[in-house]
Chains A and B, each alone.
Chain A
Amino acid sequence: MPAPATSPASTALPDALGRFGAFGGRFVPETLMDALNVLAGAYAEAQADPAFRAKLQDYYANYVGRPSPLYFAERLSKLVGGADIYLKREDLNHTGAHKINNAIGQVLIAQRMGKTRVIAETGAGQHGVATATACALTGLECTIYMGEEDIRRQKLNVFNMRTMGATVVPVTTGSRTLRDATNEAMRDWMGSSEQTHYTIGSVVGPHPFPMIVRDFQSIIGQETREQSLARLGRLPDAVVACVGGGSNAAGMFYPFINDDEVALIGAEAGGRGPNSGDHASSLTQGRPGVLHGSFSYVLQDDDGQTDDVHSISAGLDYPGVGPEHSYWKDCGRVRYESITDAEALDAYHVLARREGILPALESSHAVAQAMKEAPALGAGKVLVVCLSGRGDKDAYEIARLRGEPMG
Chain B
Amino acid sequence: MRSPTVNPPHSSENVMNRIDALFTRLRSQGRRALMPFLTAGDPELEATAALIGEMVTRGADMVELGIPYSDPIADGPVIAESYTRALRTGIKLASIFAMVERLRSSERVEAPIVTMVSYAIVHRHGVTAYLDRAVSSGVDGLIVPDLPVEEAADLCRLATARNLSLIQLVTPTTPRDRALKIIASTTGFLYYVSVAGITGERRELPPELADNVAWLRSQTKLPVCIGFGISGPDQIRQLAPVADGLIVGSALVRRLRGAAERPRAEVVGEIGGFVEELARALTLT
Query: Which residues from chain B contact A35 at a C-beta distance below 8 Å?
Result: 173
Query: Which residues from chain A contact B119 at a C-beta distance below 8 Å?
Result: 27, 290
- Decide if A332 is an interface residue (CB 8 Å cutoff): no
Say which residue of B72, B92, B150, B168 sits within 8 Å of A303 (CB atoms): B92
- Decide if A378 is an interface residue (CB 8 Å cutoff): no
- Decide if B145 is an interface residue (CB 8 Å cutoff): yes
Contact B123 A304, beta carbon cutoff 8 Å: yes
Cα A293 to Cα B150 with chains together (Å): 13
CB-nearest residue of chain A relative to B146? A27
Cα A179 to Cα B73 with chains together (Å): 11
- Rounded to whole Å, the gap between the CB of B269 and the closest CB of chain A is 31
Query: Which residues from chain B contact A290 at a C-beta distance below 8 Å?
Result: 118-120, 123, 146
Cα A190 to Cα B9 with chains together (Å): 38
Per the 8 Å Cβ criterion, residues 303-359 of A in contact with B are 303-306
From B12-20, B44-52, B190-198, B249-257, give the one contacting chain A. Answer: B190-198
Contact B174 A33, beta carbon cutoff 8 Å: yes
Interface residues of B, count at CB 8 A: 43
Per the 8 Å Cβ criterion, residues 142-193 of A in contact with B are 173-174, 179, 183, 186-187, 190-193
Given contacts A193-B173, A289-B124, A300-B124, contact A31 B87 (CB under 8 A): no
- Decide if A404 is an interface residue (CB 8 Å cutoff): no
Query: Which residues from chain B contact A31 at a C-beta distance below 8 Å?
Result: 74, 171-173, 193, 196-197
Query: Which residues from chain A contact B146 at a C-beta distance below 8 Å?
Result: 27-29, 290, 293
Query: Which residues from chain B contact A194 at a C-beta distance below 8 Å?
Result: 196
Cα A28 to Cα B149 with chains together (Å): 10
Cα A27 to Cα B150 with chains together (Å): 9
Contact A30 B193, beta carbon cutoff 8 Å: yes
Query: Which residues from chain A contact B125 at a C-beta distance below 8 Å?
Result: 303-304
Contact A292 B73, beta carbon cutoff 8 Å: yes
Per the 8 Å Cβ criterion, residues 111-135 of B in contact with A are 118-125
CB-nearest residue of chain B relative to A16? B150
Given contacts A35-B173, A304-B125, contact A28 B118 (CB under 8 A): no
- Decide if A58 is an interface residue (CB 8 Å cutoff): no
Cα A168 to Cα B123 with chains together (Å): 34
CB-nearest residue of chain A relative to B121? A304
- Decide if B234 is an interface residue (CB 8 Å cutoff): no
Query: Which residues from chain A contact B147 at a C-beta distance below 8 Å?
Result: 27
Given contacts A303-B92, A303-B121, A304-B69, contact A26 B74 (CB under 8 A): no
Given contacts A25-B151, A289-B120, contact A306 B71 (CB under 8 A): yes
Cα A302 to Cα B125 with chains together (Å): 7
CB-nearest residue of chain A relative to B174? A30
- Decide if A17 is an interface residue (CB 8 Å cutoff): yes
Query: Which residues from chain A contact B75 at a C-beta distance below 8 Å?
Result: 187
Instruction: Annotate A125-137 by CB proximity to B: 1 below 8 A, 0 otherwise.
Output: 0000000000000
Given contacts A187-B76, A190-B197, A289-B123, contact A29 B71 (CB under 8 A): no
Cα A32 to Cα B150 with chains together (Å): 13
CB-nearest residue of chain A relative to B77? A173
- Decide if A291 is an interface residue (CB 8 Å cutoff): yes
- Decide if A74 is an interface residue (CB 8 Å cutoff): no
Contact A179 B71, beta carbon cutoff 8 Å: yes
Given contacts A34-B175, A187-B73, contact A173 B80 (CB under 8 A): yes
Query: Which residues from chain A contact B70 at a C-beta distance below 8 Å?
Result: 174, 305-306
Per the 8 Å Cβ criterion, residues 192-219 of A in contact with B are 192-194
- Rounded to whole Å, the gap between the CB of A290 and the closest CB of chain B is 4
Cα A158 to Cα B122 with chains together (Å): 38
5 closest A-B pairs by beta carbon, nearest first, are A191-B197, A304-B124, A304-B121, A290-B120, A29-B74
Sample of 14 more A-B contacts, CB < 8 Å, known A30-B193, A179-B71: A17-B151, A27-B119, A27-B146, A27-B148, A29-B146, A29-B171, A35-B173, A187-B75, A290-B146, A300-B124, A303-B92, A304-B69, A304-B124, A306-B70
A: which residues have CB within 8 A of B?
Answer: 17, 25-35, 173-174, 179, 183, 186-187, 190-194, 289-293, 295, 300, 302-306
